[in-house]
Structure 1
Amino acid sequence: MKKITLLSVLLIALTAEIISQSCLPEGITFSNQSMIDDFQNNYPDCEIIEGKVKIKGDDISNIDGLSSIKGINGYLTIKSNPNLLNLSGLSNLTYIGGDLYIEENPQLINFIGLDSLSSIGGYLNILFNENLINFTGINNLTSMEEDIIITANNSLTDLSGLENLTSNVTYLVLDSNPVLTDVGAVQNISSISDMIAIVDNNSLVSLSGLENISLDALQSLMIKRNSLLSECAIQNICNYLSDSIGTVNISENAVGCNNQEEVNTLCYDGIPESVNHNMVTVYPNPARDFLFIDAQGSHIEEAIIYNEFGQILDIQFNSSNSINISNLLSGIYIIELKLNGLITRQVFIVAK
């Protein structure tokens, strides 16, 4: 599949070169604003740059002079541009044959301007962009070849803009993004083959949205030092922990994802459920002193609380919709509910 995707990128590049004028096989570095402003005068027929492109300059505030570029066969690096406000000058860029690096651009808040970009032949590296909020503007990106590395973007709250990416990727690295709360925008990625590393994202509470990505070929899973992350037991990770011979490092997260054993417990699927999970809500989760149950009007005939080892801690008959759990220590528990003769089990966390 990777070879097919790469072939598609090359065919796009070849077709574009046939109908467009190519130039600069050795590539080009734009180091100041005047080089960008003069580009179309200096290279009036250039629409496809054959080599690599680097944009790096203290006085670069816009890249509007690059609007004639439709394709780059090499990689594109946009790095260390303290005054660059947006990427609108790349609005006609449809493909990058190599990697895309966007690094240390403190004024960028999104990627508006990359609206035409549909394929990347290498890595997507987004690093140290301190005011980047999300990936809006790159919404038409559907295919890429290698790793997604998103590191140290201090204002990044989510990955919106990557919803249409459907490729197989090798690495997914989310590292040191302190206000990242939602990773669901990458839910349409087909598979991750080598590594997932989710590290030091201290506002992330859940991995929800990643559960449909195939991890069948994954070699390494690292989830560590995400101080609020308690929901890691999504289906594909549960499958990986159960079946894989790859490496696992789950540590220093919140209760529920603090180590591999906790995640394994949350992946536990006990007795087959006769009540649809969606028909019963147990909240809050994590809880402290009381657990509330919304059974949508069904009578709770019996409630049994188990610890993570399957030992019964409490049984209540004809229970109300609130259960006192103030005597429970911090940890992972299972509540079994009998509703109108039917059984459901759900996992909850006590955090004190």
Structure 2
Amino acid sequence: MNILILAFLLLLISCGALRAQCPEGDVILNLQVQVNYFEFNWPDCDSIHGDLFIGLDDGTSNIHNLLALGNISYIQGTLHIGKNNLLETLHGFDNLNTVGEDLIVLQNETLQNFSGINNLRKIGNTLYLINNSSLENLEGLNNLSYIGKDLVVLENQVLINLDGLEQLDTIKNRASIMDNPLLSSIQALSDLDYLYELEFSGNDNITSLTGLEQAFIDNSIFIDENMGLTSLDGLGSLEDFSGSLLLVYNPIIQDYSVLSDLDSLYYLHLSGCDSLTDLQVLENLIFVEDWLSINSNPGLISLAGMSNLKHVGSLAIAGNNLLTNLVGLPEFKKIDNKLSILGNGLQSLEGLDSLVEVGGDFTVWFEDNLVNMNGLGSLSSVGQKLWLLENNQMEDLSGLEQLTAVGSILEIDFNDSLLNLVGLESLDSIGRWLWIRNNPSLSSLNGLESLQYVGEMLSIESNASLTDINALNHSITPLYHDIAISENELLSDCSVQAVCETLQTPGAYVSISNNNEGCENKPQVIQACLTNTSPGLEILPECVLSPNPVISLFKIQLDTNHEAVFRLRYPNGSLLIERIFIRDHQFDFAFLTPGVYFVEIQVDGQLIMKKIMKI
């Protein structure tokens, strides 16, 4: 019996010893003494079943060697080595082969390489190498073959190359190599066979991307502001690449020949490519699903080279100062989404002659050499917004003679030389708003004679030379749309049919102010409409309902002394209240349950209907 008890006690002691071989959870080592005592406290520990933190956030750690950690082969969580200003090597991690989550090496001022961590083979998530001011290369990571998420190499001031990563063949997500000013080679990545994304930015000393020849890049390539980069050699073949490619301000690249492999992309953005004079390098490109953006290329004089392109989702041509026309664009009949033409040196829109439809927004902005819209002779519809903004030499809109419909908004703003709207003679409908504002030379709205429909609002504001809006002397439906005419200092006659009919329409909002005498305010226009229009035209009395939304007291003000009938209806039309009143009246709606109601005011044979909200 005693022997059995003794055996049981020995078993318990043995189990306790096994459990105590390694600490539970995270391990935090701020000082050298804590590193030293780790070996004393857990002499047989080979695994950390949590995160391991080495260093102090304020940079005052005195850790200078990690030899006491020599048994550790596995870290389940993150290994964080940060702000250790005395740590020169990683000797002590000689047996470490796996980090389950991230390896973060951050702001270690004297660390020159990764000597001492030579057996590391796998990092489960991300390798972060950030702002290590003495780090010259990555020697010591020579056996690392797998990174489960990202490689981030950022702001290492004296990093010259990535030597040490020669065995790395897999980065499951992104490689971000950014702002390493002395980096001159990434040749060490030559065994890499897969990347989801590449971000290469602000590495001013590198001249090529040699080292990436074998890597298949799956989703996106972003190469940005590498001031010494002269060639894209090293990207290898892009024949199978179909993701997003962004080349942004790499000013001395001379060789773009690798782009000739491209045939299908999701997104293409070429910006700050100073040596590009045309787009012959895109001669094999057939399809761009989303945006094709050609932006701020100071040497670009022609778009020639894209004759095989059959489809773009959206197209942006912007900031190309030497580009005088759009000749070279494919003969698109439709652009599915947006077309943006901004701040080029264009003298015409020639090159868009076959375009019939823009499915989304169409913008022409800051094109100071355009005098009209010639080159758009086939365009018949814009699905969303048509913006014509700050084109300072544009005199009229000739070239848009086939345009019949704008699906949402037509905005014509800040065009200093615009005299009239000639070119819009076929425009029949605008889905929501027509805004004509801040065009100081505009004298008439000639060109709008065929406009039949404006869905929500017509706004004519701050056109200093405008004297004539007779192009609107016809009906525009629906009659309940809103109208705003203001700050047109020479405009004295607003009594055109479109305005007069809206003034007599229940539910329409009309604002007229600060124009010339005769159109200075709404009463003047009402009087002119009554005088100038045919018998039978009646203008509804002004009706003010307030407040809306209403809590309790609700006021009605009419500018007539005639008897009026007030009715309040539920949304389904059933009658709730009916009262007779004259001119002004106040009702108490405190008893109403919150929700939407409809007010009717019947006066002088006319019916005014408005929606109110009870809260």
Give me the TM-score of the superposition, normalised by structure 1: 0.66
Q: C-alpha distance in 2, partners of 1:94/1:77?
A: 16
Letter aligned with residue 64 of structure 1: V
Residue number among 323, 335, 341 corresponding to 1:78 in the alignment? 341
Deviation of 1:61 after TM superposition, in Å, equals: 2.5
Q: C-alpha distance in 1, partners of 2:289/2:532?
A: 61
Structure 1 or 2: more helix by fraction? 1
| Mapping 1:1-352, distance limit 5 Å | 23-31=287-295, 32=297, 34=300, 37-40=303-306, 44-49=307-312, 51-57=313-319, 58-81=321-344, 83-269=345-531
**Aligned with 1:52: secondary structure?**
strand
Would the aligned equivalents of 2:300 and 2:322 in 1 still touch at CA under 8 Å? no
**CA separation of 1:213/1:30 partners in 2, compared to 1, >3 Å: closer, same or farther?**
farther
Q: C-alpha distance in 2, partners of 1:235/1:198?
A: 15
Aligned identity (percent) is 29
Structure showing greater radius of gyration is 2
Would the aligned equivalents of 1:148 and 1:172 in 2 still touch at CA under 8 Å? yes
Deviations 1:30-81 (A, max 9, x none): 12364953442xxx432332x1111102332221111433321111010111
Letter aligned with residue 76 of structure 1: L
**Aligned with 1:209: secondary structure?**
helix
Q: C-alpha distance in 2, partners of 1:188/1:255?
A: 28
Q: C-alpha distance in 2, partners of 1:46/1:133?
A: 33
Letter aligned with residue 468 of structure 2: S
**CA separation of 1:271/1:48 partners in 2, compared to 1, >3 Å: closer, same or farther?**
closer
Would the aligned equivalents of 1:114 and 1:137 in 2 still touch at CA under 8 Å? yes
Would the aligned equivalents of 2:318 and 2:343 in 1 still touch at CA under 8 Å? yes
Q: C-alpha distance in 2, partners of 1:271/1:163?
A: 25
Deviations 1:227-275 (A, max 9, x none): 11011011221121122323222111011100000001111149978xx
Would the aligned equivalents of 1:192 and 1:213 in 2 still touch at CA under 8 Å? no
Q: C-alpha distance in 1, partners of 2:485/2:532?
A: 25
**CA separation of 1:250/1:22 partners in 2, compared to 1, >3 Å: closer, same or farther?**
farther
Letter aligned with residue 404 of structure 2: T
**CA separation of 1:117/1:30 partners in 2, compared to 1, >3 Å: closer, same or farther?**
same
Q: C-alpha distance in 1, partners of 2:348/2:334?
A: 19
Letter aligned with residue 264 of structure 1: I
Q: C-alpha distance in 1, partners of 2:318/2:533?
A: 59
**Aligned with 1:134: secondary structure?**
coil
Unpaired runs of 5+ in structure 1?
1-20, 274-352
Letter aligned with residue 25 of structure 1: E
Unpaired runs of 5+ in structure 2?
1-284, 536-615
Deviations 1:111-147 (A, max 9, x none): 1111111221111110000000001111111222111
Q: C-alpha distance in 2, partners of 1:167/1:271?
A: 25
Deviations 1:282-310 (A, max 9, x none): xxxxxxxxxxxxxxxxxxxxxxxxxxxxx
Letter aligned with residue 527 of structure 2: T
Q: C-alpha distance in 2, partners of 1:36/1:29?
A: 15
**CA separation of 1:91/1:263 partners in 2, compared to 1, >3 Å: closer, same or farther?**
same
Would the aligned equivalents of 2:486 and 2:514 in 1 still touch at CA under 8 Å? yes
Q: C-alpha distance in 1, partners of 2:456/2:354?
A: 33
Deviation of 1:219 after TM superposition, in Å, equals: 3.7
Aligned partner of 1:329 in structure 2 is none
**Aligned with 1:27: secondary structure?**
strand
What RMSD in Å do the two structures reach over aligned CA positions?
Answer: 2.2
Would the aligned equivalents of 2:301 and 2:323 in 1 still touch at CA under 8 Å? no
**CA separation of 1:55/1:239 partners in 2, compared to 1, >3 Å: closer, same or farther?**
same
**Aligned with 2:418: secondary structure?**
coil
Deviations 1:186-208 (A, max 9, x none): 12122112111100111111210
**CA separation of 1:270/1:251 partners in 2, compared to 1, >3 Å: closer, same or farther?**
closer
Would the aligned equivalents of 1:30 and 1:36 in 2 still touch at CA under 8 Å? no
**Aligned with 1:267: secondary structure?**
helix
Letter aligned with residue 77 of structure 1: S
Farther-moved stretch of structure 1 (27-36 vs 83-92): 27-36
Q: C-alpha distance in 1, partners of 2:454/2:534?
A: 30
Letter aligned with residue 370 of structure 2: L
Aligned pair count reads 248
Higher relative contact order, structure no. (Cα contacts within 8 Å, ≥ 6 residues apart): 1
Deviations 1:153-191 (A, max 9, x none): 000001011101122431111101111111131121221
Aligned partner of 2:42 in structure 1 is none
Give me the TM-score of the superposition, normalised by structure 2: 0.38
**Aligned with 1:88: secondary structure?**
coil
Aligned partner of 1:341 in structure 2 is none
**Aligned with 2:502: secondary structure?**
helix
Letter aligned with residue 227 of structure 1: E
Q: C-alpha distance in 2, partners of 1:84/1:111?
A: 11
Farther-moved stretch of structure 1 (180-189 vs 57-66): 57-66
**CA separation of 1:29/1:271 partners in 2, compared to 1, >3 Å: closer, same or farther?**
closer
Farther-moved stretch of structure 1 (193-202 vs 27-36): 27-36
Would the aligned equivalents of 1:199 and 1:226 in 2 still touch at CA under 8 Å? yes
Farther-moved stretch of structure 1 (158-167 vs 204-213): 204-213
**Aligned with 2:504: secondary structure?**
helix
Q: Which runs of 4+ in 1 moved over 6 A?
A: 270-273
Would the aligned equivalents of 2:289 and 2:311 in 1 still touch at CA under 8 Å? no
Would the aligned equivalents of 1:48 and 1:70 in 2 still touch at CA under 8 Å? no
Aligned partner of 1:338 in structure 2 is none
